[in-house]
Amino acid sequence: MASERVHRSILNAKVNLLFYFLSLFLTFFSRKVFLNNLGDDFIGLAGTLGNILGYLNLAELGIGSCISYFLYKPLQKNNHEDIQEIMSVFGYLYRCIGLTILGGGIFISLFFPLIFYHATLGLGIVYFAFFSFLSSSLFAYFINYRQILLSADQKNYIVAIYLQSSNILKTAVQIFLALAYQNVYIWVAIELIFGIIGCIILNWKINKEYPWLKTNKKNGRYLLSKYPDIKTKTKQIFIHKFKDFVMRESDELFIFVFVSLKMVAFYGNYIIITTKITQFFNSVLDSVNAGVGNLVAEGDKKKMLSVFWELMTIRHFIAGILCFSIYYFIEPFISLWLGSEYILDHHILILLVIYMYIANSRGVVDMYNHAHGLYADVWSAWTELTINIAITVIGGLAWGIAGILLGKIVSLFFIVVLWKPYYLFTCGLHQSIWIFWSGTYRYYIIFAVSFLIGTFFVQNAPFSPDTNFLSWVGFCSVSLFGYIICNAILLWFFAKGSKDSIKRFFKSKI
């Protein structure tokens, strides 16, 4: 069971990485083709309609995460009856959400003549595109909902292979047809057709993986009373997810209100880079989520703690690389890419690095809290959101973007850095919080020392990062090599879990 868990985690990571690079390349290439052949207005329309659907999908927040938590234990015990009942409940809930989203979509579409009054494309393509996108989205609620079982069973690589392959093929076909016909209706039709094809293929694969799986959405309504915790957990998770959504989507709005529209674009350049880098590492790190859920379901506290420190070492190692790279490499990159006039004040970069370190090192605690179903602290979500908004409003008025970042850092410090580990160790692992801090403080000291030594390599690198991209790559390689070697050595000798994580890398055993 343990070796199988590691094997699946590694397989998930490999598949996620492969499709990350494929989609990254295709995204940049296809966007240029679509802009040139379909026009700025249509691409802007597609983005706007996507945002509208994003807000409609807020209705889902929490249910998918909740169901995955309830699936860990029956999957670990191979209890087919419980799995079928939970999936029936999930199917019923997702059908309710799908109908809600459908109703919301129809209602919003009534106002399209007002919303798109100045659109040059015409209402015909607006409605055709919106309902095509809406239909593709609803497949997940009415048909594809069973893919949650693959994710909880550490088989997310199957979802990635089939859905991502379908998306890549779809984009390739759209590129070809856009070059050949420059017709927006054809582009949208392909979007819908491949949504249907992807749905059919994925469900065929699910039936092959779980031939015993029979779900009944009608029974799900009555079975919901058998699992009252699903309702409770869903409400709790919804609040936490809603808080995350608001905090994630509000930055640009606050910058627009307190600074300027121009600064939204300037800050957006930084966020595009940091987001892409973070997504790259998360495509690997998040592949162990279901594995941790299965580990917790086994109930071996000693093994849980051992794996916890291994994952903490990896997370802080990656967070350190990210922050060191952002601090020293992002400004010369932006200068080469867009021009030195797009570089923000340096104190904004410092605050961004602090925020990124907290945000990227928190993942292990979040993972374990989810695996234990620890979402009852809804007060912490409201507190984090309140602190964030209060400091952002005051700081935004006084210091602009720096004040907005300060709001995020302070709220994360009190809730994510201090409270969440306490909640996990006292209510989940049932261990003293001092066990957590006796290991965690070392990561911060190691990062600080490594950063200082890495600075020596930065200052003595034989390349000028502002000259051209080739020199920038050389500068990054020399500087980052120095930091990584130093950080890895210090982690090996002083960090909990470092030796075990290295042994696991070579032996692939838990």
- pLDDT score of 510 more than 80: no
Q: How many domains does the chain have?
A: 2
DSSP assigned state of 419: I
Domain of 157, in residue numbers: 1-249
pLDDT, tens only, 425-475: 999 999 999 999 999 999 999 999 999 999 999 998 888 888 888 999 999
Identify whether the C-beta of residue 112 lies closer than 8 Å to the C-beta of residue 130: yes
Residue that is last in its domain, among 249, 276, 304 = 249
What pLDDT does residue 243 have?
Answer: 87
Beta strands, E only, 307-450: none
Q: How confident is the model at residue 61 (pLDDT cuts 50, 70, 90)?
A: low
Residue that is last in its domain, among 249, 270, 290 = 249
- The length of the chain, given as a count of residues: 510
For residue 418, being part of any structural domain is answered with no
Identify whether the C-beta of residue 409 lies closer than 8 Å to the C-beta of residue 351: yes
Residues 274 and 228 in one domain: no
Q: Where are the alpha helices (DSSP H) in 39-162?
A: 40-56, 63-77, 80-109, 112-115, 123-142, 147-152, 156-159
Orientation of helix 261-285 relative to helix 346-361, angle to 10°:
30
For residue 394, being part of any structural domain is answered with no
For residue 212, being part of any structural domain is answered with yes
For residue 459, being part of any structural domain is answered with yes
For residue 123, being part of any structural domain is answered with yes
Placement of tokens 């340096």 in the chain: 346
pLDDT, tens only, 480-503: 999 999 999 999 988 887 777 776
pLDDT, tens only, 26-53: 876 887 788 888 887 888 788 788 878 8
- pLDDT score of 59 more than 70: no
Hey, which of 121-135, 155-169, 242-256 has the most confident mean pLDDT? 121-135
Residues 241 and 270 in one domain: no
The backbone region for 339, taken as left when phi is positive above 0, alpha when psi lies in -120 to 50, beta otherwise, is: left
DSSP 320-335: HHHHHHHHHHHHHHHH
Residues 87 and 208 in one domain: yes
Residues 212 and 317 in one domain: no
Q: How confident is the model at residue 60 (pLDDT cuts 50, 70, 90)?
A: low
Q: How confident is the model at residue 3 (pLDDT cuts 50, 70, 90)?
A: low
Residues 281 and 234 in one domain: no
Q: Which whole-number Å values give the CA distances from 221 to 61, 231, 290, 380, in the listed order?
A: 19, 12, 26, 31
Q: Mean pLDDT for the chain?
A: 86
For residue 471, being part of any structural domain is answered with yes
- pLDDT score of 506 more than 60: no
For residue 384, being part of any structural domain is answered with no
Torsion sign (Cα): 354, 62, 286, 275: negative
Residues 371 and 459 in one domain: yes
What pLDDT does residue 191 have?
Answer: 92
What pLDDT does residue 4 have?
Answer: 66
pLDDT, tens only, 111-125: 999 888 877 788 899
Residues 137 and 285 in one domain: no
Cα of 349 vs its chain's centroid, Å: 22
What pLDDT does residue 466 have?
Answer: 84
Residue that is last in its domain, among 206, 228, 249 = 249
Average pLDDT over residues 315-340: 91
Placement of tokens 């210090």 in the chain: 490
For residue 396, being part of any structural domain is answered with no
pLDDT, tens only, 72-99: 888 888 899 889 888 898 888 888 888 9
Residues 30 and 178 in one domain: yes
Cα of 154 vs its chain's centroid, Å: 17
Among 295, 286, 16, 292, which Cα is nearest to 158's?
A: 16
Residues 281 and 240 in one domain: no
Identify whether the C-beta of residue 123 lies closer than 8 Å to the C-beta of residue 112: yes
Percent with pLDDT over 90 in the chain: 39
Among 350, 360, 358, which Cα is nearest to 280's?
A: 360
What pLDDT does residue 509 have?
Answer: 44
Among 176-185, 198-207, 274-283, 318-327, the least confident range: 274-283
Among 172, 164, 154, 174, which Cα is nearest to 198's?
A: 164
Percent with pLDDT over 70 in the chain: 96
DSSP three-state, residue 487: helix
Residues 175 and 320 in one domain: no
Placement of tokens 């570089």 in the chain: 343
Residues 279 and 242 in one domain: no
Residues 206 and 112 in one domain: yes
